[in-house]
Amino acid sequence: MSSKFKNKPCLACNILPICGGGCKQLAIENEGVDYCVYDFGESRKKQVVLDGFLKVMEEYEVGSDTAHLPTSPLA
């Protein structure tokens, strides 16, 4: 198991799928110590999610000829 996935705060964090626990070097440097690449700042974590969402929306709008979102194939 990768060192970065042994960090308990990461395993309990809502943005782990986005962050990925940071880089391996940071995990090695902090082995045995709880750490967070966002300094445990919930507002910073929320900003990461918002920035990612806005980036995806911007990319969608630039690449789209229409203003609607794609429909689900299950609908």
Tell me, yes or no, whether 31 lies in a domain: yes
75 part of a folded domain: no
pLDDT in tens, 8-39: 999 999 999 988 888 889 888 988 899 999 99
Range of the domain at 9: 3-62
CB-CB neighbours of 45 under 10 Å: 19
In a domain, 74, yes or no: no
What is the number of helices (H) and of strands (E) in the chain? 4, 0
Q: Please state the pTM of the whole predicted model.
A: 0.65
What is the pLDDT confidence band of residue 48, given thresholds at 50, 70 and 90?
very high
Q: Where are the alpha helices (DSSP H) in 1-75?
A: 8-11, 16-19, 24-29, 42-62
Quote the pLDDT of residue 75: 47
